[in-house]
Structure 1
Amino acid sequence: MEKPKIRVLIADDHIIFRTGLKSLLLSMPQIELLGEASDGSELVSLAQQLFPDVILVDIIMPVMDGIHATRELCRSIPGCRIIALSVSGQESMIMDMLEAGALGYLLKNADNQEIENAISAVYQHRPYFCKEITGKITEVIAKYQSGDTSFLITFTDREKEIIHMICEEYTSKEIARLLFLSKRTIEGHRTRIMNKMGVKSIAGIITYALEKGLYKVDS
């Protein structure tokens, strides 16, 4: 008796990558490609209509990112099997996707065989991580067990820009003028930055930034 095909849905906002992935999946006889989405919101809507077996989800997408889409899919479609797709092996991103409910994680440079192996594994409800990620998963678990969760702290591009300017000794008023924002907005960013860092002063921000490599004296 012929095995049923694995029904797959994909989501990625980069049309060139999505087209290449689609061509690859269409060449696999055991795969039935149900459709494609260019953002997380479109993906959730399609998945709730088509009920795929496996979903390949880009993490960084417009409208709704892959993390929020994964969380919503796992809530609305119990047993949903999701593989994260990313150009990054950043620990915080891996943890965000796993906590959202993803069962697999692939870097976008994965070869054809690895993509096929990942789909087959998660279809059988077995986790799958590409070779480059497996070691990081072990590191993440070890850090969690030791109580070190600092690697989960991430900063937006705007926050990094403000951190850099604080380290360059710009005042909130000067930063606001240079970034065309209000002083109040900059102070709000500064408060969030301090909360993330667990510090209480500008000196604390600078010390943290130097220790974590967010700012280099010669930068």
Structure 2
Amino acid sequence: MKVHGNIRVIIADDHEIFRDGLKLMLQRQPDIELIAEAEDGKELIEKVEALQPDVVITDVKMPRMDGASATKFLTEKYPDIGIIALTMFDEEEQIIEMLESGAKGYLLKNADKNEIREAIQSVYEQMPYYCKHTSHRLAQLVAKSKFNPYKQKAKLEFSDREKQIITYICEGVTSKEIAENIFLSVRTVEGLRMKIMEKMNAKNTAGIIIYAIKNGHYSPNDLKA
């Protein structure tokens, strides 16, 4: 796990206004160093080869070379770089393609600065990051894809109560509804949810769902919208 010094970041997006906004936000972070920016996948590869960043944040759709093609190339050549895909709400197939190409996480373009920081830190530490606005459908699509960051990890053990909570979470049941169903307080359910997240090293509900499905703790019957 990398733990020392600033996290060196390169961003890639063909929209200058979006890049400028992201650049301004990153430059205000004390432990993140923005070292370059690129307009497309080819320029991104050139910048990465020259500067060897810790993290890359790249748009999915770009001219000359798209995000998935650049990600696949970079992952094969520089497997330790944490790549984060930037996407829009309706780009499910592109998100899956990015993850299967080697991205370690993804963010929607409306993510706030705290989530962007969290995503950068997560992939820097070689842990996956799933946007907190991930739908149940997308979480299940990710879980059923070839993307699997848990292959080398030891299987976790969960109590019967935790397994029950995991199932409810994967089915989209709220903490209040879970509490009513199993006759516990909402506070107790939230405490169990946090314990599950800590065990899984998950950052949010999407992380719980994807981990649970990938590791056989939940088997969805169908995709939920």
TM-score tier by shorter-chain length is: 0.5 to 0.7
The RMSD of aligned alpha carbons is: 1.9
Q: CA deviation at 1:95?
A: 1.0
1:4 and 2:12 matched: no
Taking structure 1 as reference, are residues 89 and 116 closer, same or farther at Cα in structure 2, changes over 3 Å only?
farther
Q: Is the 8 A contact 2:81 2:124 kept in 1?
A: no
1:137-148 alignment, distance < 5 Å: 137-140=138-141
Counterpart residue type for residue 65 of structure 2: M
Segments of 5+ residues of structure 2 without an aligned counterpart are 147-225
Taking structure 1 as reference, are residues 69 and 143 closer, same or farther at Cα in structure 2, changes over 3 Å only?
closer
Corresponding residue number in structure 2 for 1:61: 62
SS class of match (1:133)? coil
Counterpart residue type for residue 85 of structure 1: L
SS class of match (1:83)? strand
Q: Distance in 2 between matches of 1:117 and 1:45?
A: 26
Identity across aligned pairs (percent)?
49
1:31-180 alignment, distance < 5 Å: 31-133=32-134, 135-140=136-141
Q: Distance in 2 between matches of 1:108 and 1:142?
A: 22
Count of matched residue pairs: 144
> Higher Cα Rg: structure 1 or 2?
1
Q: Is the 8 A contact 1:67 1:100 kept in 2?
A: yes
User: How high is the TM-score relative to the length of structure 1?
Assistant: 0.62
1:143-170 deviations in Å (ceiling 9; x for gaps): 569xxxxxxxxxxxxxxxxxxxxxxxxx
User: How high is the TM-score relative to the length of structure 2?
Assistant: 0.60
Q: Distance in 2 between matches of 1:142 and 1:37?
A: 30
Q: Distance in 1 between matches of 2:9 and 2:63?
A: 21
Corresponding residue number in structure 2 for 1:24: 25
Q: Is the 8 A contact 1:40 1:66 kept in 2?
A: yes
Q: Distance in 2 between matches of 1:27 and 1:38?
A: 22
SS class of match (2:133)? helix
Q: CA deviation at 1:38?
A: 0.4
Q: Distance in 2 between matches of 1:138 and 1:87?
A: 15
Taking structure 1 as reference, are residues 75 and 142 closer, same or farther at Cα in structure 2, changes over 3 Å only?
closer
Q: Distance in 2 between matches of 1:20 and 1:116?
A: 14
Q: Distance in 2 between matches of 1:75 and 1:19?
A: 29
Segments of 5+ residues of structure 1 without an aligned counterpart are 146-219
SS class of match (1:131)? coil
Q: Distance in 1 between matches of 2:83 and 2:144?
A: 25
Q: Is the 8 A contact 1:84 1:105 kept in 2?
A: yes
- Larger % of helix: which? 1
1:90-140 deviations in Å (ceiling 9; x for gaps): 321121011000001000000010000000111000100111226344321
Q: CA deviation at 1:3?
A: 4.4
